[in-house]
Amino acid sequence: MKTPIKSALTLSASALLAVSALATSAAHAALWSDTSIGYRTGSQYSEPFNNTPFSKDIISLNHVSGYKYGSNFFNADLLLSSATDPAGKGSKEGAHEVYVVYRHTLDLEKLTGTPYKFGPVRGVGLVGGFDFNTKTDAGYNSKKRMVVAGPMLMMDVPGFLNVGLLALWESNAPFNTFTGVATNRYNYDVHPMVSVVWGIPFNAGIPLSFEGFANFIASKGKNEFGADTANETNIDMQVMYDFGPALGAHKNALKVGLQYQYWENKFGNNASGPAGSGAIAKTPMIRVEYHF
């Protein structure tokens, strides 16, 4: 017998497959697209239950494109930690992680031919997508799977500013190399997230852009060990300089800038509990992107 969460996951996965099929067929008729590889690095990363900051190098592949009825967003990060975030019990190597995000947005005006404009809102969309990760760390070895869906408002600003209210169906199946305990895949409570994503160009004597996202995530109920989870705040933002024209390349070909991430109660771990100060990340980074 299926639980309500499993039923919701099944329905959401079916909807996601339908949306993905539409996006795949539409990819051949993309009206615009942008693909980039990126690198960012910092020395003040943190993880819950690890109160010692560590460095991390992150290599990214990013793709965004638009077609007749909406847009696609895909990002894959390869995250390489220093040895302070060890790969396993007794390891002298840092952990490795892959984190993938996909979002598809249907623009209701493009889909129906009816404008959805009011006040500062230029359009309304429906978002569907997923996250997944795999990490080889000593304490948790995350195997996150998450399906997301919900409405989104597209604000009338230079560049873009999108505000969404998404439902999250999340599960994990960790393995602790310290204790040797493996956990069966566990489904958290379905929980909401307010997601804000932006990319706004401006000029301060040089061409700059203010980019990033902010996720405000409600508690997902009990975790797989029976403890309460906490509300999360994850803000990741950067100011980027467009080197392209100065190098004789096309606009946005090479972007360099400074990035900062603030993540409170990381992964739902309460920073005031056993997870400690590692559950709050305050991480400055250097970021470089090449767009082709």
User: Mind listing the pLDDT tens digit for each residue in 139-154?
Assistant: 899 999 999 999 999 9
pLDDT tens column, 38-51 = 999 999 999 999 98
Length of the chain: 292
* Residues 92, 176: Cα–Cα separation, whole Å: 17
Strand ranges in 87-224 using DSSP code E only, listed in sequence order: 96-107, 121-135, 145-155, 160-172, 175-176, 181-182, 186-187, 191-203, 207-217
80-126 pLDDT per residue, tens:
999 999 998 888 899 999 999 999 999 999 999 999 999 999 999 99
pLDDT, position 10 = 44
The closest alpha carbon to 232, from 274, 279, 265, belongs to 265
Task: Compute CA 9 distance to the chain's CA centroid, rounded to the nearest angstrom.
Answer: 19
Distance CA 217, CA 230 (A): 9
How do 280-291 and 32-47 pair as beta strands?
Answer: antiparallel
Question: Is the CB of residue 250 less than 8 Å from the CB of residue 215?
Answer: no
Confidence of residue 29 (pLDDT cuts 50, 70, 90): confident
Lowest mean pLDDT: which of 17-26, 74-83, 173-182, 281-290? 17-26
User: What is the helix (H) or strand (E) element at residue 54, kind and residue range?
Assistant: strand 50-67
Comparison of pLDDT for 137 and 168, the residue scoring more: 168
Distances (CA, A) of 138 to 97, 179, 208: 12, 10, 40
pTM: 0.88
d(CA 119, CA 212): 24
Spatial contact of 224 and 183, defined as CB atoms under 8 Å apart: yes
3-state class (DSSP) for residue 290? strand
Residues with Cβ within 8 Å of residue 204, at least 6 apart in sequence? none
For 216-250, the pLDDT digits (tens) are 999 999 999 999 999 999 999 999 999 988 888 88
Nearest C-alpha neighbor of 166 from the set 90, 105, 244: 105
Question: What's the pLDDT score for residue 176?
Answer: 81
Contact status, residue 182 vs residue 143, Cβ threshold 8 Å: no
Q: Given its phi and psi angles, is residue 7 left (phi above 0), alpha (psi -120 to 50 degrees) or beta?
A: alpha
- Single-letter amino acid code for the residue at 117: K
- Domains, the chain, with CATH or none: 4-291 (2.40.230.20)
